[in-house]
């Protein structure tokens, strides 16, 4: 009975956690998408004016253009290519879900952030409740994985193995398995999808799962590459379960 109750609580927690992320993604998308489109149109207009008058610009005007360009890039707007890029949004649902995941996991790459007053205020409250929820979620998932550790340990103990050796082998098993599943294999995937080298993929995976999040490498942000739908949603889910694996290692 207690086991069924525990499973139900876990199922409700996981469902509630993902509903929280989905709602957060939808709100961020609603608050930020229009403002981003206006910013993209302004950047495209700035580029057009520059191309028409660049031979006549003064040094001061050129410096102002460079400042505007740097500011646009820092805000995630890249005025390159044709007008069709205006239709592509950094705040589509996949990107919004990815952003919501990086907020509650405290990674914070810094390459995507809310710029409207409403988006910034919502982000404060979303993180305020989302970060503790994320800690509870990771704790519960790592606890479930710990049960697998106990079962593995019990099996080895029945085979006549000593307890100290069992603890060492259990830790080694989950360490090696986790490195393969959450670092080595995803790095091959990033190498194919992002065009990075394998070492860059390993670097990105480690910097992400350790929640350092420099922002020098971010999945799904290269303007010259076409990504499949919900690519960043899958990356966000990989991050969440990768963090649960790291929480398990700390517990062990």
Q: Are 36 and 77 in contact (CB under 8 A)?
A: yes
Determine the distance from the C-alpha atom of residue 142 to the mean position of all C-alpha atoms in its chain, rounded to a whole number: 19
Would the pLDDT of 3 be above 80? no
Structural domain boundaries in the chain: 1-60, 89-251
Global pTM value: 0.84
- What's the pLDDT at 196? 95
What DSSP character marks residue 218? -
207-219 burial: b if 16+ Cβ within 10 Å, else e: bbbeeebeeebbb
Would the pLDDT of 82 be above 60? no
Query: Phi/psi class of residue 240: alpha, beta or left (left: φ > 0; alpha: ψ in -120 to 50)?
Result: alpha
Count of Cβ atoms closer than 10 Å to residue 167 Cβ: 14
Long-range CB pairs of 177-182 (<8 Å, 24+ gap) are: 178/245, 178/246, 178/248, 178/249, 181/245, 182/209, 182/238, 182/241, 182/242, 182/245
CATH architecture of 89-251: Orthogonal Bundle (1.10)
pLDDT, one tens digit per residue, over 52-70 is 877 777 888 888 888 888 8
- What's the pLDDT at 236? 92
Q: 23 or 68: which carries more pLDDT confidence?
A: 23
pLDDT tier at 31, thresholds 50, 70, 90 = very high
């Amino acid at each position: 009975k207690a086991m069924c109750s525990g499973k139900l609580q876990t199922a409700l927690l996981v469902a509630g956690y993902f509903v929280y992320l989905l709602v957060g993604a939808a709100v961020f998308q609603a608050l930020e998408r229009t403002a981003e489109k206006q910013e993209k149109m302004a950047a495209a207009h700035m580029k057009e004016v520059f191309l028409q008058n660049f031979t006549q610009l003064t040094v001061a005007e050129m410096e102002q253009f460079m400042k505007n360009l740097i500011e646009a890039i820092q805000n995630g707007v890249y005025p390159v290519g044709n007008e069709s890029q205006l239709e592509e949004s950094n705040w589509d649902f996949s990107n919004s879900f990815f952003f919501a995941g990086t907020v509650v996991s405290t990674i914070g790459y810094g390459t995507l952030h809310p710029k409207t007053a409403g988006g910034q205020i919502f982000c404060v409250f979303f993180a305020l409740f989302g970060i503790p929820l994320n800690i509870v979620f990771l704790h519960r998932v790592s606890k479930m994985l710990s049960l697998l550790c106990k079962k593995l340990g019990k099996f080895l103990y029945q085979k006549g193995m000593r307890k100290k050796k069992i603890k060492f082998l259990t830790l080694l098993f989950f360490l090696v398995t986790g490195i393969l599943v959450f670092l080595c294999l995803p790095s091959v995937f990033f190498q194919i999808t992002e065009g990075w080298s394998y070492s860059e993929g390993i670097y990105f995976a480690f910097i992400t799962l350790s929640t350092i999040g420099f922002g020098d490498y971010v999945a799904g942000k290269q303007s010259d590459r076409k990504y499949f739908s919900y690519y960043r949603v899958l990356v966000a889910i990989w991050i969440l379960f990768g963090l649960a694996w790291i929480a398990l290692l700390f517990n062990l």
